[in-house]
Amino acid sequence: METVVERMRDGIDEAGIRRAGEILRRGGLVAFPTETVYGLGANALDADAAEKIYRAKGRPSDNPLIVHIADWDAIGKIAVDVPPEAKLLADAFWPGPLTMILKKSAVVPLATTGGLDTVAVRLPDHAVARALIRAGGGYIAAPSANTSGRPSPTRAEHVIRDMDGVIDMVIDGGDVRIGIESTIVDLTEGTPTILRPGYVSREMLDGVLGRVETDRALLSEDENLRPKAPGMRYRHYAPNAPLVIVEGAQQRVRERINALARENAEKGRATGVIGTDESQGCYTNALVKSIGSRTDEASIARHLYGILREFDDSEVSVIYSESFDTPQMGAAIMNRLIKAAGHQIISV
Ligand code: AMP
Ligand code: MG
């Protein structure tokens, strides 16, 4: 199939949105920008369409999809027993990078929810995304638009790299604003529980609800604890070369990475380093990329996946990364980085 690229970097193109909506209504796949990462959209209420997403991504069929809506009222059709916390969170964070897990209604096919009786719902803070959702029927299942296991796409070129010839259309909205996926909070079992950290931090949720837990499996290295979000069980976001995180005091981290890079150079192996604007000049014997500034955590989140993908275009045989425990998004950034590193961490 030929993948059509619709350019909407400067906002909504009504005719393009109509064409995209038409594709979704007849069961096709359209990738589109959101404020978090690019999504791969299909009609969430059409089991055959949802199944196409799993095939295009190579995604395990037990890993459910997030249903994207364009208005709060849309929730009534796909969820039942919606608790008051949902409205409180929507008022505080929607449109925005927060996904809520609710009990699903009968209209949502099990293909969309990975066989679960719950449904994940999000209202994205992106005008093109919302226009597309409305044009496509109001309920668009959309996981990140990458091949399963690869870093999530933060610009249309990343989507095209993974999905060209496999999906009907990509809407090119330029670079995304946030760069890591939404926070997922489960509202179906007692105390609201964070299943995936994201832009909306635990403190921000606490501020609205007064009580929030974090899925214990996310905080523990114990492999017997299964994360409640099926997607958090899989290795993810991985670049081709092995990635190792080096954590500790910044000066010692730099020294250790330089020592490792020197050893590699002596063996004729090329090293990649993920540093910051502040540290990049300190490294030798390595291909160094800055992820952003330590004084601007949004820049670190925004560049994380792009940098992992950039290293795939270079010949490095190992990548070392500094650790980024930033105030608001640190939990989310480190969650993604540790998964990308397959838990390989050196403490200095
Ligand atoms: P992605 O859209 O690729 O960022 O992945 C969606 C994430 O949401 C995955 O980690 C899923 O496992 C998770 N998810 C979606 N629906 C549910 C659900 N009903 N219960 C728990 N986690 C869910
Ligand atoms: Mg994903």
Substitution site in 63, 117, 199 for ligand 1 pocket (most atoms within 8 Å of beta carbon): 63
Please indicate whether residue 74, judged by its CB atom, sits closer than 6 Å to ligand 1: no
CB distance 178 to 328 below 8 Å: no
- In the chain, the percentage of residues whose pLDDT exceeds 70 is 100
264 Cβ closer than 6 Å to some ligand 1 atom: no
Domain count of the chain?
Answer: 2
Q: What is the pLDDT of residue 121?
A: 98
pLDDT band at 311 (very low <50, low <70, confident <90, very high): very high
Same domain, 72 and 197: yes
Are 76 and 44 in the same domain?
yes
Assess if residue 236 is contained within a domain: no
Q: 256: domain range? A: 243-347
**185 alpha carbon to ligand 1 midpoint, in Å?**
10
The reply to whether ligand 1 has any atom less than 6 angstroms from the CB of 96 is no
CA of 229 to the centre of ligand 1 (A): 6
Based on the domain organization, do 66 and 110 belong to the same domain?
yes
The two tokens of residue 196 are 């995936």
The 3-state DSSP class for residue 318 equals strand
Q: pLDDT at residue 57 above 90?
A: yes
Residues 247, 223, single domain; the answer is no
52's CB contacts (< 8 A; 6+ apart) are 27, 28, 29, 42
Tell me what pLDDT residue 234 has: 75
- Above 80 in pLDDT, residue 62? yes
**H/E segment holding residue 214:** strand 213-214
pLDDT above 90 covers what percent of the chain?
A: 94
Backbone φ, ψ for residue 273 (5° rounding): -130, 135
Q: In a mutational test of the pocket of ligand 1, which residue from 184, 185, 186, 235 has the highest number of ligand atoms less than 8 Å from its CB?
A: 184
Last residue of a domain, one of 230, 259, 289: 230
Phi, psi for 164 (deg, rounded to 5): -60, 130
Q: What spacing in Å lies between the alpha carbon of 155 and ligand 2's midpoint?
A: 14
Q: Which of 119, 158, 134, 138 is nearest to 39 (CA)?
A: 158
**Ligand 1 centroid – CA 166 distance (Å):** 22
332 lines ligand 1 (CB under 6 A): no
Give the 3-state secondary structure of 219-235. Answer: HCCCCCCCCCCHHHHCC
* Minimum CA distance residue for ligand 1 atom 22: 229
In this structure, of 104-108, 219-223, 240-244, 305-309, the range with the lowest mean pLDDT score is 219-223
State in Å: Cα 64 to ligand 1 middle.
5
Ligand 1 center–CA 99 separation, angstroms? 9
Whether the per-residue pLDDT at 40 is higher than 90: the answer is: yes
Distance (Å) from CA 165 to ligand 1 centroid: 25
Q: Bridge partners of 103?
A: 80, 118
Question: Looking at residues 47-59, what average pLDDT do you find?
Answer: 97
Structure tokens at 28: 């096709």
Residue 235 domain flag: no
Indicate yes or no: pTM above 0.75.
yes
CATH assignment of the domain containing 184: 3.90.870.10
Pocket test for ligand 1, best of 108, 112, 195 (most atoms within 8 A of CB): 195
Q: Residue 235: what pLDDT?
A: 72
153: DSSP letter: P
Q: Is the CB of 151 under 6 A from ligand 1?
A: no
Query: Cβ of 225: how many Cβ atoms within 10 Å?
Result: 13
Interval 69-91 mean pLDDT: 98
CB 263: neighbour CB atoms within 10 A? 12
> Would the pLDDT of 216 be above 90?
yes
The whole-chain average pLDDT of the chain stands at: 96
Confidence at 232, pLDDT banded by 50, 70, 90: confident
Task: Check pLDDT > 80 for residue 73.
Answer: yes
> 149, 151, 150, 169: which is closest to 160 by C-alpha?
169
In a domain, 38, yes or no: yes
> What is the model's pLDDT at position 159?
98
277 pLDDT higher than 80: yes
Count the neighbouring beta carbons within 10 Å of the beta carbon of residue 252: 13
Query: Ligand 2 mean position to 144 CA, how many Å?
Result: 4
Residue 39's nearest CA partner among 138, 176, 161 is: 176
Whole-angstrom distance, CA of residue 111 vs CA of residue 114 = 5
pLDDT confidence of residue 47: 98
What residues does 287 pair with on adjacent strands? 272
Same domain, 192 and 335: no
Ligand 1 centroid – CA 272 distance (Å): 31
Angle at 105 between CA 64 and CA 216, to 5 degrees: 45
Return the axis-axis angle of helices 330-340 and 297-311, rounded to nearest 10°.
10
Cβ contact 29:167 at 8 Å:
yes
Tell whether ligand 1 has an atom less than 6 A from the beta carbon of residue 153: no
Q: Is the pLDDT of residue 224 over 90?
A: no
Task: Please report whether residue 288 resides in a domain.
Answer: yes
Q: Is residue 81 part of a domain?
A: yes
Domain assignment present for residue 328? The answer is yes
- CATH number of the domain that 316 lies in? 3.40.50.11030
What is the predicted pLDDT for the residue at 22?
Answer: 98
Residue 275: inside a domain: yes
Task: Tell whether 218 and 247 lie within a shared domain.
Answer: no
pLDDT bracket for residue 238 (50, 70, 90): confident
Residue-level pLDDT at 59: 94
Q: Give yes or no for residue 125 CB within 6 A of ligand 1.
A: no
- Is residue 237, in this structure, part of any structural domain at all? no
Q: What confidence tier does 219 reach under pLDDT thresholds 50, 70, 90?
A: confident
Query: Does the N-terminal peptide bond of residue 197 adopt cis geometry, omega within 30 degrees of 0?
Result: no
Alpha-carbon distance of 119 to 79, in angstroms, equals 7
Measured from the alpha carbon of residue 62, the closest ligand is 1
164-215 per-position pLDDT tens digit: 999 999 999 999 999 999 999 999 999 999 999 999 999 999 999 999 999 9
Q: Is 215 in the pocket of ligand 1 (CB under 6 A)?
A: no
Per-residue model confidence (pLDDT) at position 207 = 98
Identify which ligand lies nearest to the alpha carbon of 61: 1
SS3 state at 81? coil
Cβ(232) to ligand 1 under 6 A? yes
Residue 295: CB partners within 8 Å, gap ≥ 6?
none
Reduce the DSSP state of residue 207 to 3 states and report it: helix
- Say how far apart CA 348 and CA 195 lie, in whole Å: 30
